[in-house]
């Protein structure tokens, strides 16, 4: 029950319309390796639901396939043709126009995950391409990941950021850190990018 509450709390952080989320305790994905939550994502157009993808949690799968240790895992599959149709109907999205992530938002611990998602969503609304840590790496590992992925900025969330109105933005090229309002983050990222 606690796991379900955590999932619902995380969904709230994404500021999703609650009317578009339904909880179905009887859903089955047809494969027996799922160990936790399963999900399906639909798009509704004129009363017709188009299934775009489905997936879930399968922590025992790696060991079942011969792996040596338990490995937390989540995955999904999608119907490429349906996704391509969906993207073609949206003016601002294109499969051929992928652009890199500009900012990685991370919390210093798992208790800051929901707030990290809220910060990421606000930055996306302001026009930045943002990724959040979803596997619970420590800050140092997230910075290493950002460098590997060529993500130029990291926002580190801790209690000071959660209580205040500013976030700590770190430029990974220069190492410079600044406490900034979210709109200042956008300006800083765009100035460096340009």
Tell me what the mean pLDDT of segment 129-138 comes to: 90
Neighbouring CB atoms inside 10 A of 62's CB total 16
Q: pTM of the prediction?
A: 0.60
C-alpha distances (whole Å) from 136 to each of 85, 141, 180 are 34, 10, 24
Confidence of residue 134 (pLDDT cuts 50, 70, 90): confident
37-55 pLDDT, tens digit each: 888 888 876 566 778 888 8
The pLDDT value recorded for residue 82 is: 77
C-alpha distances (whole Å) from 194 to each of 46, 69, 146, 174, 191 are 41, 45, 19, 16, 5
Instruction: Report the chain's C-alpha Rg in angstroms.
Output: 19
The pLDDT value recorded for residue 23 is: 83
Q: 41 CB contacts (<8 Å, ≥6 apart)? A: 51, 52, 53, 54
The pLDDT value recorded for residue 130 is: 95
- Walk me through the domains of the chain, giving residue ranges and CATH numbers: 22-88 (no CATH), 103-193 (3.40.50.800)
Which DSSP category does 77 fall into? E
Q: Please determine, for residue 151, whether its predicted confidence score (pLDDT) is greater than 90.
A: yes
**Mean pLDDT of all residues belonging to the chain:** 83
Helix, strand or coil for residue 37? coil
Q: Give CA–CA dist 182/172, Å, rounded.
A: 18
Q: Which of 186, 53, 72, 83 is nearest to 130 (CA)?
A: 186
C-alpha distances (whole Å) from 125 to each of 114, 119, 142, 155, 194 are 17, 10, 23, 16, 20
């Amino acid at each position: 029950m606690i796991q379900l509450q955590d999932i619902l709390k995380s969904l709230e952080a994404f500021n999703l319309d609650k009317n578009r989320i339904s909880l179905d305790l009887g859903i089955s994905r047809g494969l027996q390796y799922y160990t936790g939550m399963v999900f399906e994502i639909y798009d509704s157009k004129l009363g017709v639901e188009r299934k775009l993808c489905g997936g879930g949690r399968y922590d025992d799968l790696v060991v079942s396939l011969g792996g040596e240790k338990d490995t937390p895992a989540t995955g999904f599959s999608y119907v490429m043709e349906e996704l391509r149709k969906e993207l073609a109907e949206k003016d601002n999205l294109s499969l051929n126009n992928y652009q890199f992530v500009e900012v990685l938002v991370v919390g210093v611990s798992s208790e800051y995950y929901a707030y990290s998602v809220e910060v990421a969503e606000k930055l996306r609304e302001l026009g930045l391409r943002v990724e959040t840590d979803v596997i619970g790496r420590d800050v140092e590992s997230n910075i290493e990941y950002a460098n590997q992925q060529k993500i130029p900025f990291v926002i580190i969330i801790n209690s000071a950021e959660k209580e205040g109105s500013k976030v700590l933005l770190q430029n990974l090229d220069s190492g410079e850190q600044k406490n900034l309002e979210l709109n200042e983050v956008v300006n800083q990222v765009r100035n460096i990018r340009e």
